[in-house]
Chains A and B, each alone.
Chain A
Amino acid sequence: MKILVCISQVPDTSTKIMLKDNDTAVNTQGTTYIINPYDEWYALIRALELKESGVATDVHLITVGKADTEPVIRKALALGGDQAVRIDADSIDPYQTANYIADYAKTVGYDLVLCGKESIDYNNGSVGVMIAELLDADYIGFATNIEVEGTTATVKREIEGGEETDLVNFPVVIACQKGVAEARIPNMRGIMAARTKPLNVIAPTAGAAVTTILSYEMPPAKAGVKMISPDNMDELVELLHSEAKVI
């Protein structure tokens, strides 16, 4: 069984976002990048567990990005995985990213494609579904548990107002969140091994974007906090009612 894990590079969670060029771009100077937490903690680690338990034969990682994303993909390889592919492109939107990844996935034929529930930069959560559609495969989002037997996966997932357990046949794309696996820290051996693992750089296929970001805006500054005495909770309730109008 072959697994493809989608890895996205995102700004570290503690990054303060700053804009530039008349608010048409994000100032990335000095930004440190990490593997998108959902991709790393859940999708990648679950793939590695499936390989360790002998269920999966191959675990490949894929990212779409220019050469500056290589440190992050090497970091992912330090956790595990046999090889990685970098599609050498600055993707403009999820549709383009999904097309690049799906076109590559078709050339190999994966049984299972794993990704995180969303990337924490653009918060779309749409690349995984789009890959599934492009591969004519099923998709399960918000997975909290994945077990594999033969060519079927049993997946627990969050649904609107609860949880359900599904049976799904390969090929399938599954977007992972908390519960799927436990985060790991790479060890020295992994870091050394990652240096020599194959990282294939391939050119993107032709795939046009259908959306573009024209500009950005920072959230309005809060007007300042109004402090209430701990002995006057009636006042707080009154303010929430008559001033804030939320109760």
Chain B
Amino acid sequence: MSVLVLVEHTDGNIKKKSFEAVQYAAEIAKKINTTATALVLGTIADSELENLGTYGVQKVLHVADKKLDELHARAYASALIAAAQKEGSKIIIALHDINGKAVAPRVAVKLKAGLVSGALSYPDLDKGFVLKKAVFSGKAFAFVNITSDVKVITLMANSFPLAPGSGKASIEKLDVTFGDKDFGIKVKSVDKVTGEVSLVDAELVVSGGRGMKGPENWGLIEDLAKQLGAATACSRPVADAGWRPHHEHVGQTGGTIRPNLYIAVGISGAIQHLAGVNGSKVIVVINKDPEAPFFKAANYGVVGDAMEILPKLTEAVKKFKQHK
């Protein structure tokens, strides 16, 4: 009855958040005195698969079909079902990201299993199988009990720090017989963003609002982001005005992010904006208005003109990095 976890990789490199999911699965396995198994799909080297052992899985199942290099959610679901059958898994874990959200609900329906989307905690086994998750876009948390025999969880990235050990995992190739509908979606073209830090996965984020006055001032945001190795985000009016691309818009109607550090520059802190960022561990607010509501949600605040403060902050970060 191994705990099964779906692992994601980018061109053969396992994502950090997948190591988090693997470690999470291994911790749950420990709690219930069993082992954890990782399922990896597509083209990836054995040497990379071996790394999974250090996060606590005993076994890695690898389906080496290169058609799986693209997201084919139905095929991913078939592979998970096959792996779950092989391992007798009653607990199945994926990430709460674009891939996991497309796959986990399918697996849950196929297995008539309860699903908790975006889990933030380990299951509380004293009360049943209870997981904490954010609801109302982070304005509250809910404790959700899974009542079915089989349980499916999508884990929110950046919820648990990584603590690699020294375990080794055995690698086994798995053959899956796919159904004729599993590859029904034809991928016409793919456009991968390379180089930039992806916003949803970023640990540090610098974000600008209408207080930045116009797109011509975004160099100041980018300079700071670059110095920190951070991703950039923005408020909704900024994206609506076309100053920044829409995928940078965070908030209730944009992206939800949970970085370790969110630096909000010239953003007032409307409730709809906070809904997308209130899971951030530390918030720094830079605003010329000392009454800006965002200060109430901040850990550190600086009152002043962003145009003057940003270059100073960038310089300070640069100095810090040099002396570290």
Contact = CB atoms under 8 A, between A and B. Distances in A.
Say what secondary structure dominates the interface of chain A: mixed
B8 A11 contact: no
Given A13-B272, A161-B10, A211 B198 contact: no
A239 B130 contact: no
Given A124-B117, A168-B186, A225-B285, A178 B249 contact: yes
Contacts of B99: 160
Contacts of B42: none
B interface, how many residues as a size bin?
A: 35 or more
Given A123-B256, A129-B106, A163-B193, 17 more contacts: A11-B136, A26-B136, A126-B104, A132-B106, A141-B98, A158-B98, A158-B247, A160-B71, A162-B190, A210-B147, A214-B127, A214-B128, A215-B143, A216-B135, A217-B142, A217-B143, A225-B298
A228 B115 contact: no
A134 B105 CA distance: 11
B316 A234 contact: yes
Say what secondary structure dominates the interface of chain B: mixed
A214 B98 contact: no
A interface, how many residues as a size bin?
A: 35 or more
29 contacts: A14-B272, A95-B108, A126-B101, A126-B108, A129-B102, A130-B105, A138-B184, A159-B71, A159-B98, A161-B192, A164-B190, A164-B191, A165-B188, A166-B185, A178-B253, A210-B108, A210-B115, A211-B114, A211-B146, A211-B148, A217-B141, A219-B139, A230-B308, A236-B313, A236-B316, A237-B313, A239-B300, A240-B300, A244-B282
A95 B73 contact: no
A246 interface: yes
A167 B186 contact: yes
Contacts of A211: 114-116, 144-148
Interface string B209-226: 000000000000000000
Given A166-B185, A236-B300, A210 B114 contact: yes
B12 interface: no
B118 interface: yes
A21 interface: no
Q: Give the interface centre of B10, B109, B133, B198 by most chain A CB atoms within 10 Å.
A: B109
A136 B98 contact: no
Nearest to B71: A159
Given A164-B187, A230-B312, A212 B142 contact: no
Given A26-B140, A125-B101, A167-B188, A134 B109 contact: yes
A179 interface: yes
Interface of A: 11, 13-17, 19, 26, 37-38, 41, 93-95, 98, 120-127, 129-130, 132-134, 136, 138-142, 154, 158-169, 178-179, 209-219, 222-223, 225-231, 233-234, 236-241, 244, 246-247
Q: Give the interface centre of A26, A37, A38, A123 by most chain B CB atoms within 10 Å.
A: A123
Interface string B80-113: 0000000000000000011101101110111011
Nearest to B102: A141
Interface of B: 8, 10, 70-71, 73-74, 77, 97-99, 101-102, 104-106, 108-110, 112-118, 127-128, 130, 132-148, 181, 184-193, 198, 203-204, 228, 246-247, 249, 252-254, 256, 260-261, 271-272, 275, 278, 281-282, 284-285, 295-305, 308-309, 312-313, 315-317, 319-320
